[in-house]
Amino acid sequence: MKLKHILAAALLAVGLSASAQTIIKFSHVVAADTPKGKAAVYFAEKAAELTKGKVKVEVYANSALYKDKEEMEALQIGSVQMLAPSLAKFGPLGVKEFEAFDFPFIFDDTADLHKITQGPVGAAMLSKLEPKGIKGLAYWDNGFKSFSANTPLKAVADYKGKKFRIQSSKVLEEEIRSVGGIAQVMAFSEVYQALQTGVVDGTENPISNFYTQKMHEVQKHLTITNHGYLGYAVIVNKKFWDGLPADVRGQLEDAMKKATIYANQIAQDENDRSLDGVKKSGKTTVYVPTKEERMALKKAMAPVHTKMAGRVGQETLQQFYSATGFDPAKL
Ligand code: LMR
């Protein structure tokens, strides 16, 4: 080969590697117009800015790429690089400690929650994902769940015999059983239709999910129970992450820090805005339980804590209890 050809080939190679862009596919199951959906787009923008275009994050909302269970498998084999599954999704993966987040009434408010997600207990839990080939980067808030159905849900007896869609979680199954309901595990993307056709009678969701999936069109009653928490861990395929050049990884960590602040700032507002939307639609009656009604629900669900303690492990549960001050024995 002539020298000029060698030079041309070398220049081409340098040019190619300089312009090669890393693509991160970020898949999730909720609408773009939710706390998670907005934070994912925000992260994509920050990633492009901080890596100066070396990384492009492609966000796929509304289960466009994968449904609940499939997305975790896709991440582990590397077909998708980044996800933000709800914390309930890690129990079925075999990291049972995460099921503590599903315990009813374990958090009084977001301040309680942050003692876990922004402290050492939360960080230690994320590190338990590593043997599964998953690197946990951050916790993103959504909010507290409320129950909906086509009939009013005021007294505990109103839940009896009703079929409620839940995420795949043994703790959530027990929660529904504790009020005499029937739990039905189902992928998030199938809930609207299941409610519409009567396959299930009701469901539990933060209002941002309820409204953006248009569940208010197919549920006549929503009771603001705030009985349990639903939020996320942002995760990446560990091999992919460890294989990134250190400077790029650092820039992405920075982008993630910024996106996490943003996510946790907007979560409450997004849920409030969605509640306004539900009310304005006039299709669902929104009911705020009395103190006594909410306490009755809390008492009915208290046995879930003792029954399910063994799954999560006493150590984790005690860490949660000492952070939040919740004591099921005191109910
Ligand atoms: C669900 O299945 O209800 C949730 O995991 C959806 C979400 O917010 O990701």
| 233 part of a folded domain | yes
Question: What is the CB < 6 Å shell around ligand 1?
Answer: 29-30, 68, 86, 142, 167, 188, 209, 230
Look at residue 326 and give its three-state secondary structure: coil
Domain for residue 330, yes or no? no
- Are 138 and 205 within 8 A, CB to CB? no
Residue 147: closest CA among 136, 163, 131, 135 = 163
Q: Domain range spanning residue 250?
A: 3-325
State the distance from the centre of ligand 1 to the C-alpha of 103, rounded, in angstroms.
16
Nearest CA residue ID for atom 2, ligand 1: 188
Residue 53 included in any domain: yes
Query: Which of 63, 230, 270, 274 is the best mutation target for the ligand 1 pocket, counting ligand atoms within 8 Å of the beta carbon and taking the most?
Result: 230
How far lies 196's CA from each of 48, 190, 212, 214, 289, in Å?
40, 10, 15, 11, 25
Q: Which atom of ligand 1 is nearest to the CA of 85?
A: 9
Neighbour-count burial of 177, counting CB atoms closer than 10 A to its CB (0-12 exposed, 13-18 middle, 19+ buried): middle
Residue 17 lies in a domain: yes
**Ligand 1 closest atom vs CA 89:** 5
Tell me if 149 is assigned to some domain: yes
Residue 290 lies in a domain: yes
| CATH number of the domain bearing residue 8 | 3.40.190.170
Contact partners, residue 146, CB within 8 Å, separation at least 6: 204, 205, 206, 207, 210, 222, 223, 224, 225, 226, 227
Residue position matching structure tokens 């396959």: 199
Ligand 1 pocket, mutate which of 29, 38, 71, 200 (most atoms under 8 A from CB): 29
Q: Is the dihedral of CA 245, 251, 253, 256 positive or negative?
A: negative
- Has residue 104 been placed in a domain? yes
Determine how many CB atoms are found less than 10 A away from the CB of residue 313: 14
Question: Residue 331: inside a domain, yes or no?
Answer: no
Give me the number of domains the chain comprises.
1
pLDDT in tens, the chain (331 residues): 455 555 444 544 443 444 589 999 999 999 999 999 999 999 999 999 999 999 999 999 999 999 988 999 999 999 999 999 999 999 999 999 999 999 999 999 999 999 999 999 999 999 999 999 999 999 999 999 999 999 999 999 999 999 999 999 999 999 999 999 999 999 999 999 999 999 999 999 999 999 999 999 999 999 999 999 999 999 999 999 999 999 999 999 999 999 999 999 999 999 999 999 999 999 999 999 999 999 999 999 999 999 999 999 999 999 999 999 999 888 8
